[in-house]
Structure 1
Amino acid sequence: MLGVGDGHAIWFGQYGNPDGTPLLFLHGGPGSGCSPRHPGLFDASRFRIVMFDQRGCGRSNPRGALAANTTADLVADIERLRQHLGVNRWLVSGGSWGSTLALAWGAHHRDACLGMVLRGIFLARRSDIDWFFDGAGALQPAAHTRLASCVPGKKRLAERVCDAVLGAGHGHALEVVRHWMQWEESLTRGQPAALPQLDAASAARALDKYRVQAHYLRHDCFQPEDEWQHQAAGLAGLPIRLLHGRRDRICRPEAALALHEHLPGSRLLWVDEAGHDPFEPAMQAALHEAFAAFS
């Protein structure tokens, strides 16, 4: 655990080769935390793999906390962790929200970045958020209708969902979270998913996770609409590889293309047999190949 101020302490772990090239992994969400499977995405013989649960996530304390929890706070935490571990420069990998956070950190700390491999690009634009909650509705209409029916109203569906999850009513918030989980899983799999049944402990974890996610999405991830373009300009020339599954229904391929076009020197690889899940065999193979160039 590492105390980072504001009442927060973040969990971090190191894996692989202590003498290998340092590699920072940034998990998605926001709110998800790291999985025991994540170190397996990288070659443990070549890399010193560092990962941490972001504020309010996973094993970090206090779990689900929203105060002093913004993108700028997470960027500062990455720097605290890098200095704590005595790492001069490291590679950075992140997928989905992790790619957003990687760009935000790299734009402020380019000199500490050896390069990046980013997957499932998410640029935190209002249109990206609205695609997930509404634009993709026709892809899984039944699950989308059930989610929307939980939060009737005239606001954007993203706002209605996030307001409900962040609201005071525990029972209603949990109902919305369960339908949010069903919607996300249906999109990820490309077929209808069952409504999750959660025991008390699982329900508490899910509420904390999705409260953090709602907090970020409700505030457009604490970034101006075009911030990603300024970040990309600041990273021009660094070795950056972008991987995006052609079957990704969570984050549109258009975002990967837009980032590639604004990031001089980047390389974009379309992964034909992959969607949003990093553990799909085709995406795992693409990640290993992309990182092989850095080792």
Structure 2
Amino acid sequence: MQLFPPIKPFKTEMLGVSNGHQLHLEQTGNPDGVPILFLHGGPGAGISEAYRQFFDPEHYRIIGFDQRGCGKSQPFGSLEDNTSQLLVQDVLAIQNHLNIEKWILFGGSWGSTLALLVAIERPESIIGLILRGIFLARKEDYSWYLDKNGGAAQLFPEYYQAFLEPIQSKLGKQTIVDAYYDIFTSDNEIQKMAAIKAWFLWEARISKLHIQINEEQLIPDVHRAISLALLECHYIKHQCFIPENHILDNTANIKALPITIIHGRYDTVCKLESAYSLHQALDNSELSIIPEAGHSAGETATTQALCIAARDMLKFKKEQK
């Protein structure tokens, strides 16, 4: 099953939420269709036009928004009043604003984390979950992604060395995250942009099993690179503002929901063990491990699995009636 053709939103607006933040919110597809909310990754990646193509526009009311501080949301790049708890409240505010009783949550990477946090908070408002590239926000997940002895660094040592270059003078005095955070929140714009590029490139280089594009094209959008680097670092520095093992400790809240979990076998951004542990904790979930795939939703087999999951969730919705 392939992506659906590109489509434009039927409505776009700015939604005011708490603490002065304004969220870019859009709706695509059938206004009377089954509501499905797309939760982007990062934190800080923002939405792109391509996300709409996972869903059949005849049957789905496709909803997407830029989370606080990224994309077209304002204030851009803001770390103030930007926490997991506030993002959950933003999702609930969108649901209330659109008068939606129940909807499907579709999220990958950090989007899977946010989808799980929302579902744990309000399971009664969820039809089902479609999750990709699971990130559980545990110490071991941060270590896998950022530490010298983590899985990503061990598999990509030359890329990891390039990732450390902007903070070489700080190593041994500060953690990697604190060193980057100091640069990101400094007034030295030249140093800051070099660090943003290095952070963004680290993730881009390890996101796909097969990188077949010119590396200069890995940062096609400086705007996106800025928000992703700043917000990822901000959230990791604060352990995503949730207690250790919070998601696995609260899976009882979502054991009545249909949950599809999709994870690339060779995902080096978010380790496969996270998806497996989540699946083991949820008898109501289905786990698809995609062979010859990494972290990106754009890899062919992963894209197909996500499209199929969205189609199958429609069948489940019909069976519920």
TM-score by length of 2: 0.86
**Residues 27-77 of structure 1 deviation map (CA, whole Å, 9 limit, x = unaligned):** 000001001101012222221111110011101011111111100101111
Contact 1:140 1:191 in 2 (8 A): no
RMSD: 1.9
In structure 1, how many angstroms separate the alpha carbons of the residues matched to 2:193 and 2:250? 36
Change (3 A) 1:269 1:39: same
> Which residue matches 1:262?
281
Contact 1:126 1:225 in 2 (8 A): yes
Shift of 1:205: 4.8
In structure 2, how many angstroms separate the alpha carbons of the residues matched to 1:181 and 1:56? 16
Change (3 A) 1:177 1:196: farther
> Which residue matches 1:139?
155
In structure 1, how many angstroms separate the alpha carbons of the residues matched to 2:223 and 2:299? 28
Structure 1 residues 92-107: aligned runs within 5 Å: 92-107=105-120
Contact 2:208 2:293 in 1 (8 A): no
Structure 1 residues 133-172: aligned runs within 5 Å: 133-134=146-147, 135=150, 136-152=152-168, 153-154=171-172, 155-172=174-191
* Aligned AA (1:63): F
The count of residues paired between Structure 1 and Structure 2 equals 293
2:99 to 86, 94, 100: 86
SS at match of 1:150: helix
Of 135-144 and 50-59, the range deviating more from structure 2: 135-144
Contact 2:70 2:224 in 1 (8 A): no
> Which residue matches 2:69?
56
Contact 1:103 1:231 in 2 (8 A): no
> Which residue matches 1:33?
46
Contact 1:246 1:274 in 2 (8 A): yes
Of 175-184 and 113-122, the range deviating more from structure 2: 175-184
SS at match of 2:228: helix
Of 157-166 and 68-77, the range deviating more from structure 2: 157-166
SS at match of 2:144: helix
Asked if 1:22 corresponds to 2:35, the answer is: yes
**Residues 212-232 of structure 1 deviation map (CA, whole Å, 9 limit, x = unaligned):** 221111101111111111332
Change (3 A) 1:166 1:130: farther
Structure 1 residues 153-192: aligned runs within 5 Å: 153-154=171-172, 155-190=174-209
Work out the percentage of aligned pairs sharing the same amino acid.
Answer: 38
Asked if 1:285 corresponds to 2:311, the answer is: no
Asked if 1:253 corresponds to 2:269, the answer is: no
1:75 to 75, 80, 88: 88
* Aligned AA (1:122): F
Which sections of structure 2, spanning at least 5 residues, go unmatched?
A: 1-13, 315-321
Which sections of structure 1, spanning at least 5 residues, go unmatched?
A: none
In structure 2, how many angstroms separate the alpha carbons of the residues matched to 1:172 and 1:254? 36
Contact 1:42 1:287 in 2 (8 A): no
SS at match of 1:37: helix
TM-score by length of 1: 0.93
Contact 1:178 1:196 in 2 (8 A): no
In structure 1, how many angstroms separate the alpha carbons of the residues matched to 2:184 and 2:251? 32
In structure 1, how many angstroms separate the alpha carbons of the residues matched to 2:304 and 2:261? 14
Contact 1:237 1:265 in 2 (8 A): yes
> Which residue matches 1:108?
121
Contact 1:237 1:264 in 2 (8 A): no
SS at match of 1:59: coil
In structure 2, how many angstroms separate the alpha carbons of the residues matched to 1:68 and 1:238? 31
* Aligned AA (2:41): G
In structure 1, how many angstroms separate the alpha carbons of the residues matched to 2:155 and 2:209? 8
In structure 2, how many angstroms separate the alpha carbons of the residues matched to 1:119 and 1:231? 19
